[in-house]
Structures are given as C-alpha cells and as structure tokens.
Amino acid sequence: MTRATTAWRLATGAAYGGGGLGLVGAGMLAVLRQQARSARRRVQANDLRGGPPSGEGVYGRGRGRPIVFAVFGDSSAVGLGVPRAAQTPGVLLAAALAELAERPVRLVRLAVSGARSWQLDEQVDKALLEHPTVALIMIGANDVTSRTALEVSVRHLRDAVRRLTEAGTEVVVGTCPDLGTVRPIGQPLRWLARRWSRQLAAAQTIAVVEAGGRTVSLGSVLGPSFAEDQGLFSVDEFHPSAAGYAAAAAVLLPSIADALGVWPAAADRGLRNLRRDTVRPVARAAARAAGRTGTEVQATAVRGSDTGPRGPWARLRRRRPPDLPTPEQAERAAEATPLG
C-alpha cells in the first residue's frame, strides 16, 4: 500500500468511521430514498431559473496588466440564487482583490450550474486560453447528491488542478460544503449527507495539495451558521442567498490573496499560533480541515523535507474573514459595464 493510499484511507475512512451504505438495512434504505425524493421535490418547487449575469469584466483601476481571475465549478461558483452579478462570489472577490493588489482584476467565469467534477475538464480547456493568474474552484455538492464515486470525483478535480498549476496558475479550491444543513433534508439522511460531504471535502484536500493547489474548507460556512440563520439561504432552501455568498467569499479571500502575494501580513496578527499555523501529515490535516470553517491547507516542508513518516506535510491556517466590498462598491469597481 502506498503512502498516498494510506493517506486517502485515513481521510476518507478512518477519520469518519468509513463511508457508504454497506451497513444500512433494506428498510432504512427505503426511508433514505423517500427522504431524498421529498427533499428534491421541495427544492425543485422553488427552482431557480437562469441565474445571475456572469459579471465578467474588469474591476479596479490600478496600474499594470490585469490579474486574470478565473472561477470554476458549479452553481455555488455561479452564484445561483441571487439576481445581481455583484452579489456573486466571483464579482465580490474580483473587486476585493483589485483593492488589495492595487491592480485591475479581470473576472472570467467558467462555472456552470449543475456541474460535477468530471465537467471541470471542459471548463479548464476554456480557461487555459485566457492564461489565468489565479483560479477558484467550488465543486462537490452535485457529486454528493448524485452519489458519484468518491475516487472518480476526486480524480477529475486533481487533474483539473494539476493542469492549471502546470500552466502557471495559482489554484484555490473551496471544498465541498456541508449538505447536512439543507433544510428540506430530514434525519437520518441529513446525518449521511453531512458524512458524505466531509468525506469528499477531506479527499478533495489531499488531491488538491498533491496537485500543487491549496484548499479552504467551506463546510461550516454552509453549516452551523446556515442552520441557525435561514436568511443565508435563497428561496429554494438549497443555494445561498446574497448574504450567504458574501460569507463564503470572505472566507476564501485571504487564501486567494495570499496565493497572489497580496494578503497583508498585518491582517493575521493577533491570531493564536495554533489557529494561524499548524503542520500535520496531509491526511490528518485534511480530516481536521473538513469540518472547520475557513481552514486553509497547502503543502509545506519540515526541516527541508516535504514528506514525513506519515506522508506529505501540509500546513493548516485559519485567518480572520475580512470585510468585503458591498455589491454596490463592487459595481462601482468595474471599469466597464460587466458582460452578460
């Protein structure tokens, strides 16, 4: 068994007690299927059509060539559930990055509602023509709801990240959110949805770090706060509202800015060392990050070596989410009327 396989099993099996429905009896399986059908009907009853405008365009008025910021993934990256482009994660992040970098940022949105990880390949094909400087990928929820095999889902994500990093693009992945907080889902399906989400998030982290990217856990952003504050859901009770997308973008911004080298060191001062900077084997880092909001994981070295006795080393960081531009400020940051 290779170290990579061992790490994989630690994160996707031992960390969450194994996965799947192998021990579920026929009666319970029937209950789960009925709950899934009921939840799907409730979500579809408030189906969101079309989605917001893409928001593609240039934001900010600094000097130099624009930073090309590409956004990949599914409806969470599209911003489905809000009416204005300026309320979507891509636009909020582009405007914030332009302010931090003091350079214009050109937003290229490749994400497609309903996408699963296998569809990232086509999105990356299109993106490479744009030569992105930095990329954000938000993917995984549809893999969970479709019960795509974990190894298949993660292989496609790893391939996408590797293609981008080999092209010189910095990559940040927002891992699978906690689907156990979706209101239409009842118990025990809710518990299983949370378990599957965290398993996928942990496996995504191992794959992304291996491919040269970094991850940020979105699990709790779409978790306890969403469960307690229904104002963070859109009308379909599945996708985030404008406030929900802003919360997710705030968690992602420090890592994206740091990947570009424009995150101010002063912003991390005052955080406890263990909260800010911890080194662990990647599998253990992935398991810990999966359920902890805003935890960033990226490859690191210890005493000059990037691998220890339990596999590759990874650094965990948790930063304080910053204030983002408001949608109105993001609109004003556009140098021209956004396309779409």
Provide the residue type at 318 as one letter: R
**Active-site hit among 159, 236, 268, 277:** 236
Residue 91, strand partner residues: none
Provide the residue type at 150 as one letter: L
* Cα angle value 92/108/314 (rounded, 5°): 75
Residue 236 catalytic? yes
Residue 54 catalytic? no
**Active-site hit among 75, 76, 217, 241:** 75
Distances (CA, A) of 196 to 161, 173, 177, 208, 224: 22, 18, 10, 18, 17
Structure tokens at 321: 């989410």
R_g over Cα of the chain: 19
**Active-site hit among 239, 241, 255, 258:** 239
**Whether the Cβ atoms of residue 221 and residue 175 lie closer than 8 Å to each other:** no
Residue 259: how many CB atoms within 10 A of its CB?
21
**Whether the Cβ atoms of residue 143 and residue 200 lie closer than 8 Å to each other:** yes
Residue 131 catalytic? no
Active-site residues: which are they?
Answer: 75, 236, 239
